[in-house]
């Protein structure tokens, strides 16, 4: 698939077919991740793949938000007024656990920390964090080119503590998000993607 086509095909989906992703495909996708630009040349990234459903249950310490009213309240508290954005949250919030549990492949990416992530002293303190997100975008695009879509979720503090206690990763590695990948259900819900006119966003020479 051509790169621009993969960029167009990549969408966030949260409804997966009950179909595993073959390990050789996962390896291909992660190899594309490992080609991403990196701040210090070393690509100190590790990937924990959790495809055993019992193991998933052990590491996932979160629930779907089942109440419409609770979702509305959360969006109001964040001051969200855009109707497309609110529509996306109504699709996403009831699936935060189930999308991870039901995906064909659940990846926990880790990057090596140089400084405490939550206490940066300058912009370059965040280089490791920025680099792993370049890796994650490569993974999502490579997956799209294989017909595999998915979603990233940012874990809450208690989820991270639970994962640390469960899998016992080293203290100097951090997980920026979960990556759930898989084959989309035919009726997978797609929020309206904001279409942005490039003419509105470029500022030439000034």
Verify binding: residue 92, ligand FMN, rule CB under 6 A: yes
Q: Looking at 88, 141, 143, 163, which residue binds ligand FMN (CB under 6 A)?
A: 88
**Is 10 or 30 the residue whose CB approaches ligand FMN more closely?**
10
Cβ of residue 206: shortest distance to ligand FMN, in angstroms?
Answer: 29
- The structure tokens listed for 19 are 């179909």
Near ligand FMN in 93-132, by CB under 6 A = 96
CA distance linking residue 59 with residue 167, whole number of Å? 8
Near ligand FMN in 182-201, by CB under 6 A = 191, 193
- The structure tokens listed for 172 are 């100097």
- The structure tokens listed for 21 are 């992703």
Verify binding: residue 159, ligand FMN, rule CB under 6 A: no
Integer angstrom CA distances of residue 84 from 15, 75, 152: 19, 12, 19
Query: DSSP label at 145?
Result: H
* # of chain residues touching ligand FMN (CB under 6 A): 12
CA distance linking residue 113 with residue 95, whole number of Å? 30
Q: Looking at 154, 156, 158, 172, which residue binds ligand FMN (CB under 6 A)?
A: 154
- Decide if 54 contacts 82 (C-beta within 8 A): no
Verify binding: residue 174, ligand FMN, rule CB under 6 A: no
Verify binding: residue 175, ligand FMN, rule CB under 6 A: no
Verify binding: residue 152, ligand FMN, rule CB under 6 A: yes
Q: Looking at 12, 38, 102, 103, which residue binds ligand FMN (CB under 6 A)?
A: 12
**Is 11 or 28 the residue whose CB approaches ligand FMN more closely?**
11
Strand partners, 181: 105, 150
Q: Looking at 1, 6, 9, 11, which residue binds ligand FMN (CB under 6 A)?
A: 11
Taking CB atoms within 8 Å and a gap of at least 24, the contacts of 21-25 are 21/104, 21/105, 21/148, 21/181, 21/182, 21/183, 25/146, 25/148
Verify binding: residue 151, ligand FMN, rule CB under 6 A: yes
- Contact residues for ligand FMN, defined by CB under 6 A: 11-12, 14, 88, 92, 96, 151-154, 191, 193
């Amino acid at each position: 698939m051509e790169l621009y086509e993969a960029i167009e095909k990549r969408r966030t989906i949260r409804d997966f077919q009950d179909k595993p992703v073959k390990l050789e495909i996962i390896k291909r996708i992660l190899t594309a991740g490992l080609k991403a630009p990196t701040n210090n040349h070393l690509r100190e990234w590790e990937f924990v793949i959790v495809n055993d459903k019992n193991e998933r249950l052990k590491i996932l310490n979160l629930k779907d938000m089942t109440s419409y009213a609770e979702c509305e309240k959360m969006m109001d508290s964040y001051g969200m007024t855009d109707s497309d954005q609110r529509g996306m949250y109504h699709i996403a919030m009831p699936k935060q656990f189930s999308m991870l549990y039901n995906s064909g492949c659940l990846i926990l990416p880790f990057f090596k920390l140089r400084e405490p992530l939550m206490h940066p002293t300058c912009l370059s303190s965040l280089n490791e964090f920025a680099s792993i997100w370049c890796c994650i975008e490569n993974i999502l695009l490579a997956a799209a080119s294989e017909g595999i879509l998915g979603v990233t979720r940012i874990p809450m503090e208690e989820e991270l503590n639970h994962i640390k206690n469960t899998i016992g990763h080293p203290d100097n590695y951090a997980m920026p998000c979960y990556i759930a990948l898989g084959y989309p259900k035919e009726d997978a819900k797609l929020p309206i993607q904001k279409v942005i006119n490039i003419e509105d966003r470029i500022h030439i020479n000034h």
